[in-house]
């Protein structure tokens, strides 16, 4: 194992800017690592595309990241994970780590109320999500959120239009006691503060980034690929949607 192999970057991709929420957690936990982030904004949203379309787009994103000689790939997109994780794991020469709605974790945090699992229509319809519900969904309300990620893609994380969206989305849940909201799309953590006004006081929020981080660490350890402690970490941002999208990524990356 050469030092150069350890210094190779970690690739992260999403359908747009949402995966920045995952990248932030990875950077905090792995400050010595170099990251290459690719947002496929020109083809967003993935959540309304067919499984075949998402697999094709995910393969193209993975090939782009592999051109940077990455040592691992993180699919920072629930929809892409559900559709393409198996396909990418089979064809990529590096470890591939996905993300999925943290319904199981939310169940451990639930008291006597319900778990609201918010995700894209594509994730909600996937077989992977169906398996999650079969195992952990007894107290879960699946909530397809068509159109929500587009607010984040516009940099709109707290606006009258967003609050009107939540009013309409959650109108049938007004009488439900929601203990935990699952942020089942990597875009959704950026609208958490706005969402709080539409859920019961004290409702908790959870996403899948911590499990993804754990799995990435395990993959790097297994292959002895952790960057050395003296290595200087960093991030390079790329987008199929151009410079405006990259500027939005940087703004979201810098949010506290």
Determine the pLDDT at residue 174. 87
Catalytic residue among 92, 140, 145, 185: 185
Neighbouring C-beta atoms of residue 81, cutoff 10 Å: 27
Distance (Å, whole) CA 189 – CA 205? 9
Same fold, 3-99+209-253 and 103-207: yes
Q: Bridge-partner residues for 141, per DSSP?
A: 116
Determine the pLDDT at residue 162. 98
Question: Could you tell me which CATH number the domain at 103-207 has?
Answer: 3.40.50.1860
| pLDDT tens-digit map of 9-56 | 999 999 999 999 999 999 999 999 999 999 999 999 999 899 999 999
Catalytic residue among 77, 92, 140, 145: 77
Cβ pair 204, 109 in contact under 8 A: yes
**185 catalytically annotated:** yes
- Which residues of the chain register pLDDT less than 70? 1-3
Question: Could you tell me which CATH number the domain at 3-99+209-253 has?
Answer: 3.40.50.1860
3-state secondary structure the chain: CCHHHHHCCEEEEECCCCCHHHHHHHHHHCCCCEEEEEECHHHCCCCCCCHHHHHHHHHHHHHHHHCCCCCEEEECCHHHHHHHHHHHHHHCCCCEECCCCCHHHHHHHCCCCEEEEEECHHHHHCHHHHHHHHHHCCCEEEEECCCHHHHHHCCCCCCHHHHHHHHHHCHHHCCCCEEEEEECCCCHHHHHHHHHCCCCCCCEEEECHHHHHHHHHHHHHHCCCCCCCCCCCEEEEEECCCHHHHHHHHHHHCCC
**140 catalytically annotated:** no
Determine the pLDDT at residue 191. 97
- The domain segmentation of the chain, as residue ranges, is 3-99+209-253, 103-207
Q: Bridge-partner residues for 181, per DSSP?
A: 116, 205
Determine the pLDDT at residue 2. 45
Determine the pLDDT at residue 61. 98
Q: Bridge-partner residues for 183, per DSSP?
A: 118, 207
């Amino acid at each position: 194992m050469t030092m150069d192999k350890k210094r190779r970057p970690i690739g992260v991709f999403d359908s747009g800017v949402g995966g920045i929420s995952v990248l932030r957690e990875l950077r905090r936990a792995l400050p010595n690592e170099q990251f290459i982030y690719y947002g496929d904004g020109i083809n967003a949203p993935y959540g309304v595309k067919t499984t075949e379309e998402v697999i094709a787009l995910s393969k193209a994103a993975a090939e782009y990241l592999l051109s940077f000689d990455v040592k691992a790939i993180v699919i920072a997109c629930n929809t892409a994970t559900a559709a393409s994780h198996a396909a990418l794991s089979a064809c990529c020469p590096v470890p591939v780590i996905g993300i999925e709605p943290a319904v199981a974790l939310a169940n451990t945090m639930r008291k006597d109320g319900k778990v609201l699992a918010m995700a894209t229509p594509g994730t909600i319809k996937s077989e992977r999500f169906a398996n999650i519900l079969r195992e952990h969904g007894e107290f879960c309300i699946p909530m397809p959120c068509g159109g929500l990620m587009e607010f984040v893609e516009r940099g709109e994380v707290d606006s009258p239009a967003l609050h009107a969206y939540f009013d309409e989305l959650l109108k049938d849940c007004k009488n439900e006691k929601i203990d935990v909201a699952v942020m089942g799309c990597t875009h959704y953590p950026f609208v958490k503060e706005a969402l709080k006004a539409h859920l019961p006081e004290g409702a908790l929020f959870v996403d899948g980034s911590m499990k993804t981080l754990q799995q990435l660490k395990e993959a790097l350890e297994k292959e002895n690929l952790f960057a050395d402690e003296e290595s200087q970490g960093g991030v390079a941002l790329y987008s199929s949607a151009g410079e405006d999208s990259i500027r939005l990524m940087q703004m979201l990356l810098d949010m506290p």
